[in-house]
Amino acid sequence: MDLRICYLDEQHRQNDKKISQVLKSLRNDNVGPDIVELLKGRMNQKLKEGIKPVRLFTHNADVDAINNAELEKIDAPKFSYCMTSDGEKKLVESLKKNCLAPADLILKKGALVMFVKNKFKEDKTVYVNGSMGVIVDFDDSGFPFVRLNSGEIILAIPDSWTIDDDNRVLAKITQIPLRLAWAITIHKSQGMTLDRAEIDLSRSFGYGMGYVALSRLTSLDGLYLLGINDMAYKLDPQIFSYDKELLLLSEQAKLNIKKKSYKKQGSLIY
Report the chain's mean pLDDT, rounded to a whole number.
Answer: 90
Nearest to 56 by CA among 220, 212, 231: 212
Distance separating alpha carbons of residues 113 and 130, to the nearest angstrom? 9
Task: Say what the pLDDT of residue 232 is.
Answer: 96
Nearest to 211 by CA among 185, 190, 241: 190
Distance separating alpha carbons of residues 115 and 109, to the nearest angstrom? 16
Distance separating alpha carbons of residues 239 and 149, to the nearest angstrom? 37
Residue pLDDT, tens place only, 80-101: 999 999 999 999 999 999 898 9
Distance separating alpha carbons of residues 60 and 187, to the nearest angstrom? 9
Nearest to 81 by CA among 55, 116, 54: 116
Task: Say what the pLDDT of residue 261 is.
Answer: 67
Distance separating alpha carbons of residues 84 and 160, to the nearest angstrom? 9
Residue pLDDT, tens place only, 20-51: 999 999 999 999 999 999 999 999 888 877 66
3-class state of residue 27 by DSSP: helix
Q: What is the DSSP string of 167-236?
A: TEEEEEEEE-SEEE-SEEETGGGTT--BS-EEEEETT--STTHHHHHHTTBS-GGGEEEEEE-GGGG---
Give 83's contacts (C-beta < 8 A, 6+ positions apart).
96, 99, 101, 102, 103, 104, 105, 173, 174, 175
Strands 197-201 and 54-57: parallel
3-class state of residue 157 by DSSP: coil
Nearest to 127 by CA among 47, 49, 70, 181: 181
Q: What is the DSSP string of 43-68?
A: BTPPPPSSSPPEEEESSHHHHHHHHH
3-class state of residue 90 by DSSP: helix
3-class state of residue 126 by DSSP: strand
The percent of residues above 70 in pLDDT, for the chain, comes to: 96
Full-model pTM: 0.77
Distance of CA 228 to the CA centre of its chain: 20
What tens-digit pLDDT sequence spans the chain (270 residues)? 888 899 888 878 888 899 999 999 999 999 999 999 999 999 988 887 766 788 999 999 999 999 999 999 999 999 999 999 999 999 999 999 989 899 999 999 999 999 999 988 877 788 888 888 999 999 999 999 999 988 999 999 999 999 999 889 999 999 999 999 999 999 989 888 888 899 999 999 999 999 999 999 999 999 999 999 999 999 999 999 999 999 999 999 988 888 776 544 455 544
Q: Give CA separation, 55 vs 79, 174, 185, 228, in Å.
A: 23, 26, 8, 14
Distance of CA 163 to the CA centre of its chain: 21
